[in-house]
Homo-oligomer: A and B are copies of this chain.
């Protein structure tokens, strides 16, 4: 399982560890949502990164029970993190979008308690776990960023928990769509109030803790009310205000975040 940098390993799920995009040319860093890095920070991140990993849609990055010696930042594409019960019931914990940092839990505890799967073709930056301690000892600013990202993840889980525990089906759905829409907009994926997403109704159901059938009915309700449309993988928000109202949306603000 030890894939060392620059190794063009076979990889079951595939991947050209190809070339390394230099962090100075990272396509994400231009976005407003990410904070500026100092020269020295960029340099460190550059040395921290051991390579890139490409996965095809449906591939699994990390499985429940795995001990992952690597951390990742998603560069492009969509992924999701989930847990299952012994009988197969699945709960999607959160989506992973570009700029998100994953694998911290698995690295820190030497055992993942969740699975991470690609929804679309994805490209990830790969960081070896061993270098994490040198990050903490030589780059306190970046170390703080790692903590910051963990706290952000926690906050998103909090939101999710409130939704699933206390919102009705239609409120949940509206809230999730608001959340998605906001994040997609931050990443400049939205044009004319619409964006393309690989999410299907089964994913929706498993994110929201609903059955597939009920998910479909709920989505239809939002469509019938003229609030959204979701056809051919294109999600359009037709009435953002009403969507937010149905969602009882509490977006909060999102300050510029670090990207490791």
In the complex, what distance in Å separates the CA atom of A164 from the CA atom of B208? 10
Q: Which among B89, B91, B150 is the interface contact of A154 at CB below 8 angstroms? A: B150
Asked if A196 lies at the interface with its beta carbon under 8 angstroms from chain B, I say no
For the residues of A in contact with B, the DSSP-based class is helix
In the complex, what distance in Å separates the CA atom of A203 from the CA atom of B157? 20
Q: Do A155 and B105 contact each other (CB < 8 Å), given the known contacts A144-B136, A150-B147?
A: yes
> How many chain A residues have a CB neighbour from B under 8 Å?
49
Q: Which among B104, B154, B164 is the interface contact of A165 at CB below 8 angstroms? A: B164
Asked if A252 lies at the interface with its beta carbon under 8 angstroms from chain B, I say yes
Asked if A148 lies at the interface with its beta carbon under 8 angstroms from chain B, I say yes
Interface residue ranges of A132-182 to B (CB < 8 Å): 133, 136-137, 140-141, 143-144, 146-148, 150-155, 157-162, 164-167
Contact of A85 with B167 in the complex, beta carbons under 8 Å = yes
- Inter-chain contacts of A160 with B (CB < 8 A): 161
- Inter-chain contacts of A148 with B (CB < 8 A): 108
- Inter-chain contacts of A167 with B (CB < 8 A): 85, 89
In the complex, what distance in Å separates the CA atom of A166 from the CA atom of B137? 41
- Inter-chain contacts of A108 with B (CB < 8 A): 147-148, 151
Contact of B89 with A166 in the complex, beta carbons under 8 Å = yes
Q: Do A161 and B93 contact each other (CB < 8 Å), given the known contacts A140-B137, A150-B150, A151-B150?
A: yes
Asked if A214 lies at the interface with its beta carbon under 8 angstroms from chain B, I say no
Asked if A83 lies at the interface with its beta carbon under 8 angstroms from chain B, I say yes
Contact of B155 with A209 in the complex, beta carbons under 8 Å = no
Asked if A183 lies at the interface with its beta carbon under 8 angstroms from chain B, I say no
Which residues on A are within 8 Å of B, measured CB to CB? 83-87, 89-91, 93, 104-105, 108-109, 111, 113-114, 133, 136-137, 140-141, 143-144, 146-148, 150-155, 157-162, 164-167, 206, 208-209, 248, 250, 252, 255
What are 16 of the A-B contact pairs (CB < 8 Å)?
A83-B158, A83-B161, A91-B162, A91-B165, A104-B147, A105-B154, A108-B148, A109-B151, A109-B152, A111-B252, A113-B159, A114-B158, A137-B140, A157-B157, A164-B209, A165-B209
